[in-house]
Amino acid sequence: MIYVVPSKRIKEILKDTIAKTGDISKFSEQTSNKAYNIRRWRRGTRTLPFDIIKTLADSQKLDVWEFLDNERLKAMTTSNSFRISYKITTSECLLLGWVLSEGHLARDRVTISQNERQPLEMLRKIIVTNFNITNGIRIERDRRGWKLVINSSAFPNYLNLRYGIPYRKKSSIIRVPVQIFEISDEEKYAFLAGCLEGDGSFIVKTRKSERGEYRIPQVSLTSYSRKFLEDINFLLKSLDIKSTIHSEKLLISKADDCAKLFFKIIPYMIHNRKIKDFMKSLIDFQYLNAIPIANSGELVKKWKNELNITWIEFTKIIEKECKYKASYYTTSNWGYNNFSPPITVIIKACEELGENYFEYLPEWTAALLLIHNKIDQKDFENIRGVKLPLINMEDITSLVQQRLK
């Protein structure tokens, strides 16, 4: 059961509501509550139950969560309390993703399990800051490794009432909360970051074709709930990222979609190993040759004219400098916007002509340029407009250099 710590605002609204009803005895009869409890609520010496809060919210013609903006919730038998906000923050969205993927709601606590302690430490700090939790949150050993425990019957009750997250065994019946479809794109990406860090993986798949073997990055999310995967698929589609569902997995298997996703969720990721796994999955140089960039013909033509060579000679330079095999027919059609050149050609042309990559490249390609050491972390943050978590870029850079050799 959720109880609300009576703030000055709530006490004033309660007094006004009682006055409009007539008196305490009439309000007691109307709400089926003892008169002596109502007097304590009015004085602020006792916490208010959730059903009374809903009555007060109705009197103000407000949604109950809007009414409770910046108020503190608690269980009746503990002093532990936490603050909520009506606006769903990116931190709360991240937590929701973690709870749905790796969490468990008991009646008196919320637990989130992981093999590694590091992401739980980060998540604990985020929860303490976002909810201003006074105490009752800890990390302890679990049979799987570690678990984050939030000791409060009010917290799982809040997640259940506001977001519809079910209690106990929930893996086959979870859904994406309806509120996630109504919030900003940034908050959606924070939610996806939590889901993928919990039950997602970032790998490289090898496939065969008539031209030989080739590698592709792949992002996957595992869940026993088909409805949950369908919700995530719909959410990604609204963000212009393609995904497919196979059995109990949702897959993102195109280099550009994986790069777009990385560009958007990296500011919210807190799991160091998963961050490195995601970056490693995008290291391969051939991804830069696999993604065409439309409407960049003028840049290619400008580079070719600057060299003062024929299209045949230009084709040889492309093969040498960009490690991209193309025919004279292909490169000449780049220059007239009939075909689209790959990212590698745009990068090289900009470097040779001293132009800004992002005059021609979409901003999400900054994810690939960061990983391939073409821009630094500060450049990436300026383009993305959000600070990154602490990433050891030296480790990633060394991996890139090894792969390029």
CATH number at residue 223: 3.10.28.10
Residue 63 forms part of a structural domain: yes
Query: Mind listing the pLDDT tens digit for each residue in 227-245?
Result: 999 999 999 999 999 999 9
pLDDT of 391 > 80? The answer is: no
Say if residue 328 is in the same domain as residue 389.
yes
H helix runs in 103-153, sequence order:
118-131
Domain count for the chain: 4
Residue 143 CB neighbours (<10 A): 6
Please report the pLDDT score of residue 404 as a whole number: 47
Please report the pLDDT score of residue 79 as a whole number: 81
Asked if 281 contacts 258 with a C-beta cutoff of 8 angstroms, the reply is yes
Sign of CA dihedral 146, 90, 184, 186: negative
pTM of the predicted structure, to 2 decimals = 0.91
Collapsing DSSP to helix, strand or coil, 101 comes out as helix
Say if residue 259 is in the same domain as residue 323.
no
Say if residue 160 is in the same domain as residue 211.
no
pLDDT of 85 > 80? The answer is: yes
Asked if 285 contacts 131 with a C-beta cutoff of 8 angstroms, the reply is no
Please report the pLDDT score of residue 160 as a whole number: 95
Residue 184 forms part of a structural domain: no
The residue segments making up the domain with residue 135 are: 90-170
Output the domain CATH number for residue 12: 1.10.260.40
Give the residue from 354, 358, 402 showing the smallest Cα distance to 380.
358
Listing DSSP states for 332-398 in one string gives HHHTTTSS--BHHHHHHHHHHHT--GGGTS-GGGHHHHHHTTSS-HHHHHHHHTSPPP---HHHHHH
Say if residue 298 is in the same domain as residue 233.
no
Say if residue 257 is in the same domain as residue 224.
yes
pLDDT band for position 299 (50/70/90)? Answer: very high
Say if residue 349 is in the same domain as residue 381.
yes
Query: Mind listing the pLDDT tens digit for each residue in 3-52?
Result: 999 999 999 999 999 999 888 999 998 889 899 999 999 988 899 999 99
pLDDT of 346 > 70? The answer is: yes
Please report the pLDDT score of residue 286 as a whole number: 79
Say if residue 297 is in the same domain as residue 390.
yes
pLDDT band for position 401 (50/70/90)? Answer: low
How far apart, in whole angstroms, are the C-alpha atoms of residue 123 and residue 92? 10
Query: Mind listing the pLDDT tens digit for each residue in 170-180?
Result: 778 899 999 99
Say if residue 232 is in the same domain as residue 276.
yes
Collapsing DSSP to helix, strand or coil, 109 comes out as strand
Say if residue 300 is in the same domain as residue 349.
yes
Residue 153 forms part of a structural domain: yes
pLDDT of 210 > 80? The answer is: no
Say if residue 360 is in the same domain as residue 258.
no
